[in-house]
């Protein structure tokens, strides 16, 4: 285990990613974590991230200097180096000229850390302050035109620091520098794999849960599915999963989830058919935010009823991922849409949370799902909103309209898969706008629904670009929809990006 201490740098996540790519497990902790807590985890190394502050500012983020006395190797990056310099008696001040972007690095001493580098290397810089003077006992191993100290080391105390960012691709030897720190200086072996993560996570859940009972809300999405299967490995029948069919799922999803979890994984699955309950609550409602609220609240009611019926539940499984953990509490974005996730529960429900995926990134969750042999359809499912088809049927939601959009959606998915595009696209789906238009079929005039198709590329759903789908794929989708769904006589393709549009239409 290696700890990344986060000082708020924009690349902190990336450091964690790079370390894991070197097959060393790492956790990111806030800079304020007490040294005793860090030491108790027995990390083989610690990395200080960069950060936006100046070390000489009031209230600049700083860790307890006792960390330097633990004997654990430390690598300071950017702000992390400046902090180390300042805390150990060196000098930091505003640079005459800030360095930003690709910068030439003069390697003065090819020590254990920089041994992989040539005397002159390219590196990526992003800083306004610089270390003027290395602390006593340190030697300077690299410099640049504007930074007299671009790397400094004190091997006796196992302290290392670089001003540049080894974690970004614009430092071509960056990964080798991290590797040298992890393997040669910290003595990590690079044996961390999904298999070893799984073993560790299962043992941890077992230890925490003991012989108590655990509940899990399954949505059919990859996160809750992987979390459920992992917890079942740990505690077997002490786990009960609740899967609520609110009538707003994708076509065939209810059956698929039951088959996967009941038959393949032999998980205790409570299937709640709440279709009537949700649809009757949604009758006559057209406002998108009201729809979301109603579904969110009703979901909680259904879940509460089930939990009460099951009795004596101590733990609740949630498929929280690492980015959620890191971002929670810091995001203060305006409410564009009140997202609700399956599994978001009222505060007065007294469960302890089990979050076995809280250290993982999305692609790692998928790898873990594959490791546990979850089916491809689950592991590679595109994201699906908690309120489901309700936000893809514009205007009032009725059973008839949901059935139309489910059919259309299934056709989109089939054709996109057939074209080999499903995994590459962030989301692709059908929408049923609240409109009809005139058409002609046979010799008859028709007056039927329009279906819209949306396909977007995105990294994080915050921004998205519409996909330039091949015309043949669009054609196949369009002709199948109008011929297979009698209620539809027109198909249109959404060619807006986010912003200004959002991914979902409501």
Give dist(CA 349, CA 327) in Å, integer. 24
Three-state secondary-structure class, residue 101: strand
Give dist(CA 27, CA 41) in Å, integer. 10
Per CB under 6 A, the list member of 50, 73, 217, 386 interacting with ligand XMP is 386
**362 in contact with ligand XMP (CB under 6 A):** no
Per CB under 6 A, the list member of 8, 91, 155, 383 interacting with ligand XMP is 383
Which of 13, 26, 63, 78 is an active site residue? 78
**343 in contact with ligand XMP (CB under 6 A):** no
Let me know if 116 is a catalytic residue.
no
Strands 151-154 and 159-162: antiparallel
**80 in contact with ligand XMP (CB under 6 A):** no
**Which residue stretch of 39-47, 103-111, 241-249, 495-503 sits at the interface with ligand XMP (rule: CB under 6 A)?**
495-503
**387 in contact with ligand XMP (CB under 6 A):** yes
How many other C-beta atoms can be found within 10 angstroms of the C-beta atom of residue 437? 13
Give dist(CA 396, CA 286) in Å, integer. 5
**388 in contact with ligand XMP (CB under 6 A):** no
**Which residue stretch of 141-149, 191-199, 280-288, 336-344 sits at the interface with ligand XMP (rule: CB under 6 A)?**
336-344
Taken in order 359, 362, 368, 374, the sign of the CA dihedral is: positive
Instruction: State residue 397 phi and psi, 5-degree precision.
Output: -95, 120
Per CB under 6 A, the list member of 50, 76, 217, 385 interacting with ligand XMP is 385
Q: Token pair of 456, please?
A: 């977007």
Per CB under 6 A, the list member of 339, 362, 417, 436 interacting with ligand XMP is 339
Q: Token pair of 160, please?
A: 């290392």
Let me know if 165 is a catalytic residue.
yes
Site string for ligand XMP, 150-179 (x = CB under 6 A): ------------------------------
CB of 501 to ligand XMP, least distance (A): 8
**293 in contact with ligand XMP (CB under 6 A):** no
CB of 462 to ligand XMP, least distance (A): 8
**221 has binding-site annotation:** yes
Give the contacts of 47 (CB within 8 A, at least 6 positions apart). 2, 3, 4, 5, 15, 19, 26, 74, 75, 76, 77, 80, 181
**Closer of 77 and 345 to ligand XMP (Cβ):** 345
Long-range contacts of 477-483 (CB under 8 A, 24+ apart): 477/411, 477/412, 477/415, 477/453, 478/453, 480/411, 480/415, 481/407, 481/408, 481/411, 481/430, 481/451
Site string for ligand XMP, 249-288 (x = CB under 6 A): ----------------------------------------
**Which residue stretch of 63-71, 117-125, 401-409, 496-504 sits at the interface with ligand XMP (rule: CB under 6 A)?**
496-504
Q: Cβ distance 394 to 432 under 8 Å?
A: yes
CA distance between the termini of the chain:
43
Give dist(CA 147, CA 127) in Å, integer. 10
Give dist(CA 92, CA 128) in Å, integer. 11
The per-type count for the chain, helices as H runs and strands as E runs, is 14, 19
**16 in contact with ligand XMP (CB under 6 A):** no
Per CB under 6 A, the list member of 461, 466, 493, 497 interacting with ligand XMP is 461
Let me know if 21 is a catalytic residue.
no
**Closer of 85 and 249 to ligand XMP (Cβ):** 249
**454 in contact with ligand XMP (CB under 6 A):** no
**220 has binding-site annotation:** yes
Query: Which is nearest to 10 in space by CA: 62, 51, 47?
Result: 51
CB of 27 to ligand XMP, least distance (A): 26
Q: Token pair of 365, please?
A: 């969750």
Which of 99, 167, 364, 506 is an active site residue? 167
Find how far residue 80's CA is from the centre of its chain.
Answer: 25
**222 has binding-site annotation:** yes
Query: Is the omega angle on the peptide bond into residue 499 within 30 degrees of 0, that is, cis?
Result: yes
**Binding-site residue set:** 219-225
Question: Which residues contribute to the site for ligand XMP (CB under 6 A)?
Answer: 292, 336-337, 339-341, 383, 385-387, 391, 427, 461, 498, 502-504
Active site residues: 78, 165, 167
């Amino acid at each position: 285990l290696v700890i990344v201490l986060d000082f708020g740098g924009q690349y902190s996540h990336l450091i964690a990613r790079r370390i894991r790519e070197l097959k060393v497990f790492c956790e990111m902790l806030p800079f304020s974590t007490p040294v005793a807590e860090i030491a108790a985890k027995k990390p083989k190394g610690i990395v200080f991230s960069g950060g936006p502050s100046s070390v000489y500012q009031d209230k600049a983020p700083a860790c307890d200097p006792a960390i330097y006395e633990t004997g654990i190797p430390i690598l300071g990056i950017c702000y992390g180096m400046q902090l180390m310099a300042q805390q150990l008696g060196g000098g930091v001040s505003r640079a005459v000229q800030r360095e930003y972007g690709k910068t030439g690095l003069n390697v003065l001493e090819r020590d254990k850390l920089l041994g992989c580098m040539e005397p002159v290397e390219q590196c990526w810089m992003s800083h306004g302050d610089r270390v003027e003077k290395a602390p006593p006992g340190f030697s300077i191993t690299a410099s640049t035109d504007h930074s007299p100290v671009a790397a400094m080391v004190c091997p006796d105390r196992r302290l290392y620091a670089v001003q540049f960012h080894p974690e970004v691709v614009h430092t071509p030897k960056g990964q080798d520098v991290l590797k040298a720190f992890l393997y040669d200086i910290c003595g990590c072996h690079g044996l961390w794999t999904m298999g070893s993560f799984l073993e560790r996570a299962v043992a941890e859940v077992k230890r925490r849960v003991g012989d108590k009972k655990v509940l899990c809300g399954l949505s059919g999405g990859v996160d809750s599915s992987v979390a459920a299967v992992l917890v079942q490995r740990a505690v077997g029948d002490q786990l009960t999963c609740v899967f609520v069919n609110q009538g707003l799922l994708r076509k065939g999803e209810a059956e698929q989830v039951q088959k996967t979890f009941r038959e393949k994984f032999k998980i205790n699955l409570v299937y709640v058919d709440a279709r009537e309950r949700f649809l009757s609550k949604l009758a006559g409602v057209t406002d998108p935010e009201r729809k979301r609220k109603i579904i969110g609240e009703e979901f909680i009611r259904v879940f509460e009823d089930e939990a009460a019926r099951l009795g004596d539940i101590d733990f609740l499984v949630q498929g929280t991922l690492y980015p959620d953990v890191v971002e929670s509490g810091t995001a203060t974005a305006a409410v564009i849409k009140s997202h609700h996730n399956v599994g978001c529960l009222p505060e007065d429900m007294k469960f302890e949370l089990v979050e076995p995926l809280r250290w993982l990134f999305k692609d790692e969750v998928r790898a873990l799902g594959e490791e546990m042999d979850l089916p491809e359809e689950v592991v590679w499912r595109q994201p699906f909103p908690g309120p489901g088809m309700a936000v893809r049927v514009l205007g009032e939601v009725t059973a008839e309209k949901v059935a139309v959009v489910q059919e259309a959606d299934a056709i989109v998915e089939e054709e996109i898969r057939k074209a080999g595009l499903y995994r590459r696209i962030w989301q692709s789906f059908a929408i049923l706008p609240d409109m009809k238009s005139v058409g002609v079929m046979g010799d008859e005039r028709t007056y039927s629904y329009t279906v819209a198709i949306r396909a977007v590329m995105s990294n994080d759903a915050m921004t998205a670009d519409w996909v330039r789908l091949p015309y043949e794929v669009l054609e196949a989708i369009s002709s199948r929809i109008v011929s297979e769904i009698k209620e539809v006589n027109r198909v249109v393709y959404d060619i807006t990006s986010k912003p200004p549009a959002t991914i979902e239409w409501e």
